[in-house]
Each structure stands twice: as C-alpha cells, then as structure tokens.
Amino acid sequence: MNTLLSSRLGQVKPSPSIAAKARVDALRAAGQTIVDFTLGEPDFATPAHIVQAGIQALADGHTRYTGSAGTPALRAAIAAKFQRENNLAFQPEQIIVGVGAKSLIFNAFSATLNPGDEVIIPAPFWVSYPDMVLLNGGTPVVAHSTEASGFKLTPEVLQAAITPRTRWLVLNTPNNPSGAVYARAELEAICAVLRDHPQVWLMTDEIYEHFVYGDAQHLSPLNVAPDLAERTLTINGLSKAYAMTGWRIGYAAGPAPLVKALSLLASQTTTCASAMGQAAAVVALNGPKACVAEARALFEARRDRMVELLNTLPGIRCATPEGAFYVFPSVAGLLGQRTSDGTRLATDLDVMLFLLNQAGVASVDGSSYGMPGYLRLSFATSIEQIEAGCQAIRQAVQSLRP
C-alpha cells in the first residue's frame, strides 16, 4: 500500500521534552497537581522594556515582511553584541536571523548534508540534534561522555568518531541537559583535533551563554581558535537570556557563503522572522542588561537549592552544573528497586514515569539525551516548586523496596 509520508519521517521521534510537557498538560487538565521540572524556558515574563518595544513596533507599522536574513538594524545589533560580549568580529553579511535558533540549526544541516554524511553529536545532547540530522539525510554519530569527564567531549573520543564522511561536530556549551561548560583548555584540545580534519565543520550552540555560575566562564570556540572561523557556525538567540521563548528570534553567524545559503532556505520556508519580534530584539540586545544579570543570579540560587535537596534523596546523586538551568542527576541507585505494586524500575524511563505517577513530579528521562541512567530536571521554576517537588520525590523513593 502506498503511503504519503516520506521514509525519512519514519526515523524521527517526537521531541521528548515536548512530549513530557504534553503529559503534564494532560494530567493537569484531568485535575492532578503536577510539579513540572520539564520546562526549558524561564518562568518569568519577558522584561517590560522589551515588551514595550514590541508594542511600539506594532504601532509604528512593523507588520510586514523583512528580508530573509533579518532587518539591517537587528543584524547590526547582533554584530555589536558579538563584539561587545564575545570579542568576536562579524560583518552583517555573516549574520542571519531565524525563527528561533532551532530553525537555523535545521537549515544549516539542510544546506550542507548529503545522504550518508555524518554529524558528531556529543552525549548527553539536546534531544533535537539527532533527529534534525536524520531529517536532512545525514547520519548522527553519538560521541559518548561520562559523568567523570564532566559530561564533556574529550579529544580522544572526538578523534575516534571522525571519519572521511564527517561533516559537522555539534558543540553545545553551556550544555542542555547537563549544564556542562567547556573551559579554555578543553576547547583548545577539541579545536586541535579539528585542525587535523579540514572536512569537519564546527557548529557551536551557545544559547545558554549568559547562564554560567560560580567561577565558570563562557567561551566560544572561536575565542580560542579564531583560525577555524571559516568553518564555524555560531548559533544563539534571545529565548533564554531575555525570556523571549515565544517571540521566536534566533540568530547565527558564520562564513558568508553559508549564511547566504541559509538565507536562501529561509526565503523558501519561513520567509523571515516576525518584524515586530525583530524590532523588540534590537532593543533587547542594545538595551540594559540588568534583567539578564538578575535572571542569572536567580537561577544560580535555584540551582544550589535543587542540587542540595536532590543529594539528600536515597538513590539519587546530583553533580552541580556550571551552566544552563538544568540538573542532570543519576538515578542509578533507584534501578532494580520495586514499587508498592511490585513493579521493578529497570530504566531511567521507568523512574521518570514512577515519579510522575507516584510523586506528581515531571522530568525527562536521560535516555532521550543519549545518557541512560539519568534524569533532566529544570530549575527554571520557583524555589517553592523546587522544594515541593523534591519533597514529593523523597516520599516516593522512600516507598520503594529492594
């Protein structure tokens, strides 16, 4: 029987984080109280001055199409941001605005991958990277890390993963889901490997750059290896730092020929990001940064409290993340235990569902991020919710039996 759907679609699974949110919504609609640790977005509103800029943009008539690469004003603001905050120099023709960072990552794969081309994706990874590679005819190659390595790719593992078909390395720092932040020496070691393989491009996803804690410092790979600029695409956006997830404004910077190709794809798909959103993004990037600093301090306090509480729970071990707004605790100590009805917890997915059904606490299983035996919990929520959720987890795990 003929089917309408392409064979590529059969290789792709729904986004686990979106699926987790859907489960939460369904349970809440059924009247259950759920503590939601799945959300990958700040729990506070977009800063008022940015909202006002969006309102003013509508009043000023910013309601029409823009160029597919973004408005000149926003690309200039992005170039100034890169110079000011990252010490990186880009010209406007090297910058493209997208409908969120996600569409730019997808389009970069679409513009560059041929069937059989490989993309190295360090695990744990953001859930969408492998599926976007598959949708564009490529082959995701997972390069595994360990908790002992800080959930970071090592040069030895990278070297072993590279083949003549390797097209990209995707590096996400700070990392979703682990919160890992690559230090200068770690980036230098990775870039040293890439120098020996000129066919491999580097995609660096820096969407969480402003959320680093303690002594950690965010660095772009181009800060330590500017010679790789001609084969590096830097991905970023306003969703996280400025609490603008629903505005859908992302951006990328890289070699002008690649950016031109991304603009071509945008012209035939999304056309452009919203004119109103782009006008507000100019104000966000050029305006005061106190809102970003306040968000970072708030997340750091929440991180500390969640890590503290999780490490008091039987069977759970939680390293302290250096960045982003997630913790990635090991639940290996719960595997093999049985629930009150005799069900054995064999996998991290079992633990996730047990905590959802028994404790009313929603998380995402580590297997979805390429790292079985862990859970991802977001601390982009209030201290009160963090404390309530951890207390509910405590009661649930204390009911388990060997």
- pLDDT tens digits for range 38-62: 988 999 999 999 999 999 999 999 9
Q: What is the pLDDT of residue 1?
A: 43
Percentage of residues in the chain having pLDDT higher than 70 = 100
Q: Which residues share a beta bridge with 121?
A: 142
Enter the CATH code of domain 8-45+291-398.
3.90.1150.10
Q: Does residue 73 surpass a pLDDT of 50?
A: yes
Q: Are 113 and 138 in contact (CB under 8 A)?
A: yes
Q: How many CB atoms lie within 10 A of CB 140?
A: 19
d(CA 333, CA 118): 35
Percentage of residues in the chain having pLDDT higher than 90 = 91
Q: Does residue 199 surpass a pLDDT of 80?
A: yes
User: DSSP letter at 273?
Assistant: S
- pLDDT tens digits for range 76-115: 999 999 999 999 999 999 999 999 999 999 999 999 999 9
Q: Domain residues of the chain, as ranges?
A: 8-45+291-398, 48-286
Which structure tokens are listed for 178? 């682990």
Q: Which range, of 27-31, 144-148, 209-213, averages the lowest pLDDT? A: 27-31
Question: SS3 sequence, 81-123?
Answer: HHHHHHCCCCCHHHEEEECHHHHHHHHHHHHHCCCCCEEEEEE
* Sign of the torsion formed by the C-alpha atoms of 328, 331, 332 and 335: negative
341-370 average pLDDT score: 96
Contacts of 274 (CB under 8 A, 6+ apart): 99, 247, 248, 249
Q: Which range, of 10-19, 41-50, 204-213, averages the lowest pLDDT? A: 10-19
Q: What is the pLDDT of residue 20?
A: 77
60-65 average pLDDT score: 97
Element (H, E) at 378: strand 375-378
- pLDDT tens digits for range 138-172: 999 999 999 999 999 999 999 999 999 999 999 99
The SS3 of residue 212 is strand
Q: Does residue 222 surpass a pLDDT of 90?
A: yes
d(CA 14, CA 305): 32
Residues recorded for the chain: 402
- pLDDT tens digits for range 292-344: 999 999 999 999 999 999 999 999 999 999 999 999 999 999 999 999 999 99
Contacts of 226 (CB under 8 A, 6+ apart): none
Q: What is the pLDDT of residue 3?
A: 79
d(CA 163, CA 272): 36
pTM of the model: 0.95
Q: What is the pLDDT of residue 2?
A: 60
Fold identical between 8-45+291-398 and 48-286?
no
What is the residue-averaged pLDDT of the chain?
A: 96
Enter the CATH code of domain 48-286.
3.40.640.10
